[in-house]
Amino acid sequence: MNSSSGARKRGSITNPPTRAGTAAPGVEFRTHTLVLAGEAAGLRLDQALAQALPQYSRARLQAWIRAGCVSVDGRVPRPRDLVHGGEEVRIEAQLRALGVVDPEAMALEVLWSDEHLLIINKPAGLVVHPGAGNARHTLQNGLLAWDPALARVPRAGIVHRLDKDTSGLLLVARTVEAHTALVAALAARKIHRGYVALCTGVMTGGGTVDRPIGRHRSVRTRMAVRADGRAAVTHFRILRRYSAHTLIDVTLETGRTHQIRVHLSHRGFPLVGDPLYGGRRRLPAGASAETRAALTGFRRQALHAARLALRHPLKGEELSFEAPLPQDFAALIAALEAR
């Protein structure tokens, strides 16, 4: 991990949480007193507060207003009330545990952490969020055992996701304020993610795939390039060519479900081992028995989240992280090198 200090960016969190020592288990308190700026005149109260307190989502602020946790010049307002600027706002609210996901002790590779963030190196085979058929044994279960306070943060602080069989770096926020800021940074493309992938086929050069992605029309577990899909942009460059495969570096501008897998398959270079988009396995002519066994035995998509770079949402530091290829992926590359 490399980090360097940087100036605090506008919109970074500057009002950290106020913790009450007498809070009940699963509860944290947030207390704020502020005067609305004159520039807020004419805005709805929830809009004005979202501007003044960017560490909270507008939906959360609306919920606090409706619950009577917000007063404006001593009166209880509504979210839609218009403000004039200069009003004194007092917030006394609670953060309670969310959802019913159970904590589950498991080995997690934590590459870096402070009181606001975690960087996890996720192994292949670990589901990120509970869902149909995966109520337990997920990363979210493990995070809640590692830090029970994450129960108060949406999705136990997970900011982005990786597919079950994709390995590598994953960002986790440890507070509501950090989560709100990082989700906004991700949407604004200020969090940079880099991947290493092994494709079937020999590329002649790098490039960009700029094609929208949406749900497959007939196979609902798959995604597809569709004209009516959501915008998706993937950049790739060649790291190493083999006789029937290409090792590439991939960066994302967007983060659609299965984006790298769909885009590369669409270009005719599906990921080795991909069960949804990989098509027929291609074995190099004249390959050794060991190389053939390595390719046929690789039962997941050959995709690894190798790099992550972001600005710390509270401290303003530039942070960057790298994770080496996991053993199975490294062994596959070694077999191709030795063929």
User: Which of these is catalytic: 73, 81, 147, 163?
Assistant: 163
CA distances, 305 to each of 124, 241, 262, 302 (Å): 11, 20, 16, 10
Q: How far apart are CA 25 and CA 17, in angstroms?
A: 16
Q: How far apart are CA 95 and CA 174, in angstroms?
A: 13
Assign 137 to helix, strand or coil.
coil
Q: What one-character DSSP code corresponds to residue 75?
A: B
Taking CB atoms within 8 Å and a gap of at least 24, the contacts of 14-18 are 15/53, 15/55, 15/177, 16/177, 16/314, 17/175, 17/176, 17/177
Q: What one-character DSSP code corresponds to residue 151?
A: G
Tell me if residue 163 is catalytic. Answer: yes
Neighbours of 200 (CB within 10 A): 24
Nearest to 330 by CA among 178, 124, 161: 124
Alpha carbon dihedral 75, 80, 82, 86, in 10-degree steps, equals 50
For the record, the structure tokens of 271 come out as: 């990921």
Any idea what the Cα angle at residue 251 is, between residues 247 and 254, rounded to 5°?
Answer: 140
User: Around 230, how many Cα atoms within 13 Å sit in the side-chain half-sphere?
Assistant: 10
Buried b (16+ CB within 10 A) or exposed e, 173-196: bbbbbbbbbbbbbbeeeebebbbb
Catalytic residues: 163
